[in-house]
Structure 1
Amino acid sequence: MVAKVGFEFPRDNSQQWDGFNEPGMEHFAGSPFRSLGREGTQNALDAAISSPVAISVRLVEVPTISVPSVDELRSALELCVAESHAEGEKAKQFFETALDLLGKSKISVLQFSDSNTSGVKGPCELGYPYFALMKATGQSKKESGTATGSFGIGKFAPFTVSGLRTIFLSTRWSDESGAMHHYVQGKAILMSHRSGGATYRGTGFWGIRKNCQPLVGNLDELPAWLHCNGHEVGSTGTTLSILGFMANKGWERILAASIGESFFGAICRGELTLTIEGGPVLNAGTLPDFFADKDILNAIKDQKEEPETFQNSGHFLRALSSTESKVEETQNASLGHCRLHILVGEGLPKRVAVLRNGMLITSELARLRRFGEFKEFVAVLECLSDKGNALLRAMEPPPHNDFEPDRLPTLQQQRAGRVALRELAEWVRQMLQRHAQDPIAEVSEIDELAEFFGDDEEGSGSKEKNGDENPRGALKIRARPLPKKKSAASDSQEDHSQDDNLPGDDGDDGDDTGDGDGDEGGSGGSSGSNESTGGDATKGGDGGAGSSKNHVSTLALQNVRAVVLSPARRRISFTPEVGGQVKVTLEDSGADTNRILKITSASVGVVANGDLSIQCNMNQRLTVDVELDRVFEGTIKVKAHAV
């Protein structure tokens, strides 16, 4: 007679097959220890009932025979070995190694416990957190709409560090009446296997066999390591036991680094503590020294994106905790109350970290990646409203490392998400301009290079000469026009090409638009990182003022420069070769074609239909700040026509 309690791999009558490569596990296979730290801590914080949530981690060796129903687990592994030839060498090696682990007298178990949490609330029925964690696929049941986890994928992370792909969960939780419940259940994710002509599912459960339910109540016969360790009698909380833990060298420091760099916000505010037996202890007091620990840096140096991610988190912690940080706040229409901490100082990485509920989401938010025009700084951005955090959570992908508005369910919500992120990024840049803008210093002359770059004109050191400031430094660059190219035509033809009133010349050989994109011209522009390039705007050429098609005269501009003031603002400077009323048009300089950039406002002149009309004086430098109709980070082309 089969016992009522044991490992149960449900019989499969649907002729399906669970292969070895479980997608949920493969999602975390590249960084298993970092994933374990991040996902396990998310689950604990999402179940918080008081502060701080206390996480304790320990590695123990237990007698193999103490693993509940270990013989049944061994039999399932043997059946998987027989099927693994069709799955590939990776599967075959795994199951053979797993059997070797169970053949030893002792087995390693990593235990991840939390307290000051609600536990994983049951019952084990659809719609409850316990069922979502242990039985459901692709489902997350968190009590808060702003919980750090949301996809139900993180539950697979512990299996990636188990040499048996097997875990046991022990949790205490209380119902609405205050009655305490204690559940214990095991779960193994192997692969489909066959026995006696029947096929069995790859995922099996230890507990009450009927309907694969957890063991409830009378747990005295279970080994001590399966109880909720470290929990006071009558308290709630959870212990996750990972069987056959694959302990790499330095795993304690790698795990601590994962938790510290992801949850420094929660730790420094006293919302989370971590104790690893024989390893680091993280709390608000120890966190600064933790990020300076060379042993941690040495342990994680071979991990993906390390040690840069760890070091950057240390800088973000300084921005949150330093009295030298500048704090700004705003009310975003969709996200509500938002706060920004800015710390300026040498050696800082010019990054903006976005936290949600104390967890680092990203430091690569769109429109907040390049900061060439700023001093070295770090900043930490947080949304402080439940409404805003719920919106941000809904835009996060499964790794919780970005915000993607297209994940929102309706087009209207997607548009609102895009607008919220854009407005937030623009506000952050405005605050960085206020506190971290790299000022343009006084003009300096470089006399040491005078013999190589001498000025042919009188008074080369005079302030009356046209020049422009390098937006990155304290130098004044005096750009000189390149010599005009010789035309292949005769001298008489060259003279005629400059005659605006030549009869019969309708400009058909030129550009119909009259923009003169010929070899003699260039464009003023700027990149989103504030690296500017200058040059002459094109002369009229064949498509100039003599064209009967457009009847406008394209003007030559010298020393064209466009400096980034914000993602949608530029400071345009140029020197016209002639005077009079001029219409200025801006374009983005694309790889295949240029698109008009409409001007919505300007510091001088008149704006109409996206263009700027302005009075110019011949050979007199002109500077104007313009607002664009859209955010743009590429190179800008400046064109001028006589009105």
Structure 2
Amino acid sequence: MAKSDYGFLFEKAGRSRAYGATSSDEEHFKGTSIAESLVRELGQNSLDAVDPDGDGVVRLEFELAEVETSTIPDVENLRQHIIAADESTRSIDKRNTRLKDAAEAIQQKSLMVLRVGDYGTRGLTGSERRDGKGPSPLAALTRGAGISADKDGGGGSFGVGSSVGTLASDVHTVFWTSLPKGVSEVVFAGYSQLATHRLPGGEDLQPDGFFIDRKIEDDFKYLRSPSSLGPFETRDKFGTDVYILGYAATDEDRNLEDIRNAIIKNFLVAIHRGKLVVSGKTSGGNWTLDQESLPMYVKSLEKVYPFYQALLDPEPYVRTIKGLGELKLYVEVNDNFPEKYHTIGIRKPLMMITEFRHTSIRMRYAAIMECSNDEGNEVLRALESPRHDKWEASRQRGGSAAIKKVKDFIRDGLKERMDEVVGDTVEIKGLEKYLPTTVDVEQLGTFEAKTVTAPKNGEGTTTESTSTQGTPDGETEKKPVTRRKSVSVKIQKNGEPGGDMPGTEGKDRGGSSERKSSGGDIPGNASPGDGNSKIPAGDLRARGWFTSEVEKSVFNLRLSSPNPEFGNISLRALGPGGEVDDNFVLPIKKVVLKTVTGDKELEFEGNMVKGVDIAGTPASAKLSIEFLEDRRFSVAVV
């Protein structure tokens, strides 16, 4: 039996077409950063291969380290082919420096190598050989083009994962090691994507080189039980490693922070639900991204954090749609958002795919549409583009109808949420109080409240409030507005304890502040109170609405501010004309602050809620206020 000869083999080109320096796969991923392209393809492949007998968690490791070029397997042979490819194409396309840069890099003393390893997966199962039964996962990834295998409703369906690795490599070469489940030996494979080239005195060779046993002429045979590559540890657990030789983004991302941010952006839901844990290891330090650390890292990503807030929606909009199964819509409405973030769509791999825009929705929001059931996942997977960044109706019969159903579902969900926030006032018979389900706190100084949109009815008066509109003829008759509107409520400012700034005192509740008479909004000099400071009014905004639960009435209050705040807030009931009723004590039973780490019950005294933490970027807080009586009140934040 002939001795094995493992190394890179570039087959003779023969009558095949010639390939230049420009890679078609390079054009395929054009417009996307190296980090994002890499993360999306490799992350999706790993989530597709999750071990069904494991704990359901996929662990990804990104490790960047320097490797001496001389220790790379068959590097002398690889170097000759890269230099030849550069020389063969240089006169054809002088503007494309792809292979020129590769020729320079392979002659350096060392290369920065990025290892991406997954754990909790099945590994690359099957044989590298052709057996007439279709490609195995091992063959599809390491020697296939435009094919995929054994996805079972997973993410990829175009077989372009191997190309992303070579595009991220300065020398356009990658290695894989994999320990498949049920196998005792680690398999080692390699691939180099160059151009049609010719070695000195030889024939034209194909652009693709594979690391195989060159003694076997009729099929592939990969190396088993390889030595470790550079400083990286040998694979000893089920899963797969990909080694990217000369990681192209090293200079701008030495700590792999761009990698981490791309993972958060694209796999936010998977990380939040504990399905994906990612770690980074570099000479500059290590980091771990999981359920626990996600809130800390996502806050710095201003275009991603709103979607994280949406993901915390305790009551997503859920419907079962014929042909698509169950769909869910998670929504976050926040007036402090600098823009409308629209809706992103995900399916079973829990990776961000596309964006849906609904211009008819006026509120500022961020939303996530999830279709992770098997029926809908298969439909949307068939409509997915090769880059996995959109669902295209033309890709499958019935595609237009499916996408329309998704869009209609999103629109209906957003409208329902908008109706909750800007809907009709509920009038309770026998209770002369209205429910302003939206309260936008925009101005400061007095208790006067004014409408910011035109009322639907009423003759109007010169005195404007939440329930009346002004007229030029001096009439003063007030007529209630039955349509709820966003209103601007002016809030009293508070003096700093011990300071000299003029403040505002409400009812007599003790203390030594000076004022002209008891009660009312009379300027005085504030002094230390009971130690609980009221949150400065500033640009505080509030939005509230009631929800009906079993035998109880719950008022949902969302507070937002440009900057984080901590302290107390004061609530008041509103009279029939929208005026604040200082004498009515709301029958509060329980107040809960909803946070990313769970619910926290807050203390309250009368109408004062204590210890409200308005945090995050933008700063916001969600309160759930339960009343002793199963009825609704008009509530304002003062």
Fold in common (TM above 0.5):
yes
Please name the residue that 2:135 is paired with. Answer: 127
Write the deviation string for residues 500-546 of structure 1: whole angstroms up to 9, x where unpaired. xxxxxxxxxxxxxxxxxxxxxxxxxxxxxxxxxxxxxxxxxxxxxxx
Of 159, 181, 187 in structure 2, the residue corresponding to residue 183 of structure 1 is 187
Of 306, 312, 331 in structure 1, the residue corresponding to residue 303 of structure 2 is 312
- Superposed, which structure 2 residues align to 1:321-336 within 5 Å? 321=312, 325-336=314-325
Task: Kindly state the Cα deviation for residue 14 of structure 1 after the two structures are TM-superposed.
Answer: 1.1
Please name the residue that 1:9 is paired with. Answer: 10
Write the deviation string for residues 347-377 of structure 1: whole angstroms up to 9, x where unpaired. 2344222222353435632xx4325433x33
Please name the residue that 2:169 is paired with. Answer: 162
| Partner SS, residue 188 of structure 2 | strand
State whether residues 377 and 436 of structure 1, in contact with CA within 8 Å, keep that contact through their aligned partners in structure 2: no
| Partner SS, residue 376 of structure 2 | helix
Please name the residue that 2:350 is paired with. Answer: 359
Please name the residue that 1:424 is paired with. Answer: 409
Task: Kindly state the Cα deviation for residue 107 of structure 1 after the two structures are TM-superposed.
Answer: 1.9
State whether residues 61 and 117 of structure 2, in contact with CA within 8 Å, keep that contact through their aligned partners in structure 1: yes
| Partner SS, residue 123 of structure 2 | coil
Q: Which letter does structure 2 place at the counterpart of 1:55?
A: L
Q: In structure 2, what is the Cα distance between the partners aligned to 1:265 and 1:469?
A: 40
The reply to whether residue 407 of structure 1 matches residue 395 of structure 2 is: yes
Of 32, 36, 39 in structure 2, the residue corresponding to residue 37 of structure 1 is 39
Q: Which letter does structure 1 place at the counterpart of 2:329?
A: L
| Partner SS, residue 345 of structure 2 | strand
Task: Kindly state the Cα deviation for residue 419 of structure 1 after the two structures are TM-superposed.
Answer: 4.4
Q: In structure 1, what is the Cα distance between the partners aligned to 2:224 and 2:83?
A: 32
Task: Kindly state the Cα deviation for residue 104 of structure 1 after the two structures are TM-superposed.
Answer: 2.7
Q: In structure 2, what is the Cα distance between the partners aligned to 1:438 and 1:84?
A: 66
- The 1:24/1:123 distance shift into structure 2, 3 A limit, reads same
Amino-acid identity (%): 23
State whether residues 185 and 224 of structure 2, in contact with CA within 8 Å, keep that contact through their aligned partners in structure 1: yes
Q: In structure 1, what is the Cα distance between the partners aligned to 2:483 and 2:219?
A: 71
In the alignment of these two chains, the number of paired residues is 433
Write the deviation string for residues 566-615 of structure 1: whole angstroms up to 9, x where unpaired. xxxxxxxxxxxxxxxxxxxxxxxxxxxxxxxxxxxxxxxxxxxxxxxxxx
Greater Rg over alpha carbons, structure? 1
Task: Kindly state the Cα deviation for residue 110 of structure 1 after the two structures are TM-superposed.
Answer: 0.8
Q: Which letter does structure 2 place at the counterpart of 1:241?
A: Y
Q: Where does structure 1 lack aligned partners over 5 or more consecutive residues?
A: 294-309, 450-454, 476-643
| Partner SS, residue 278 of structure 2 | strand
| Partner SS, residue 267 of structure 2 | helix
The reply to whether residue 53 of structure 1 matches residue 58 of structure 2 is: yes
Write the deviation string for residues 318-359 of structure 1: whole angstroms up to 9, x where unpaired. 22235xx43221111111112222233332344222222353
Q: In structure 1, what is the Cα distance between the partners aligned to 2:46 and 2:388?
A: 16
Q: In structure 1, what is the Cα distance between the partners aligned to 2:63 and 2:222?
A: 24
Q: Where does structure 2 lack aligned partners over 5 or more consecutive residues?
A: 426-450, 465-469, 489-638
Please name the residue that 2:145 is paired with. Answer: 137
| Partner SS, residue 391 of structure 1 | helix
Q: Once superposed, what is the RMSD of the aligned Cα atoms?
A: 3.3
Please name the residue that 2:220 is paired with. Answer: 213
Q: In structure 1, what is the Cα distance between the partners aligned to 2:111 and 2:472?
A: 88
- The 1:163/1:179 distance shift into structure 2, 3 A limit, reads closer
Of 250, 269, 280 in structure 1, the residue corresponding to residue 253 of structure 2 is 250
Q: In structure 2, what is the Cα distance between the partners aligned to 1:27 and 1:292?
A: 31
Normalising by structure 1, we get a TM-score of 0.61
Q: In structure 1, what is the Cα distance between the partners aligned to 2:155 and 2:210?
A: 27
Q: In structure 2, what is the Cα distance between the partners aligned to 1:44 and 1:328?
A: 30
Q: More helix by proportion, 1 or 2?
A: 1
Of 73, 76, 81 in structure 1, the residue corresponding to residue 81 of structure 2 is 76
| Partner SS, residue 131 of structure 1 | helix
State whether residues 44 and 156 of structure 2, in contact with CA within 8 Å, keep that contact through their aligned partners in structure 1: yes
State whether residues 334 and 420 of structure 1, in contact with CA within 8 Å, keep that contact through their aligned partners in structure 2: no
State whether residues 264 and 358 of structure 1, in contact with CA within 8 Å, keep that contact through their aligned partners in structure 2: no
- The 1:143/1:473 distance shift into structure 2, 3 A limit, reads closer
Task: Kindly state the Cα deviation for residue 464 of structure 1 after the two structures are TM-superposed.
Answer: 12
State whether residues 343 and 369 of structure 2, in contact with CA within 8 Å, keep that contact through their aligned partners in structure 1: yes
Please name the residue that 1:388 is paired with. Answer: 376
| Partner SS, residue 72 of structure 1 | helix
Q: In structure 1, what is the Cα distance between the partners aligned to 2:238 and 2:127?
A: 15
Q: In structure 1, what is the Cα distance between the partners aligned to 2:404 and 2:298?
A: 36
Of 139, 148, 160 in structure 2, the residue corresponding to residue 153 of structure 1 is 160
Write the deviation string for residues 470-528 of structure 1: whole angstroms up to 9, x where unpaired. 999669xxxxxxxxxxxxxxxxxxxxxxxxxxxxxxxxxxxxxxxxxxxxxxxxxxxxx
Q: Which letter does structure 2 place at the counterpart of 1:97?
A: D
Q: In structure 1, what is the Cα distance between the partners aligned to 2:22 and 2:114?
A: 23
Write the deviation string for residues 197-254 of structure 1: whole angstroms up to 9, x where unpaired. 52100111112123562424343xx344497x475x4x31001001112213235111
Task: Kindly state the Cα deviation for residue 155 of structure 1 after the two structures are TM-superposed.
Answer: 2.6
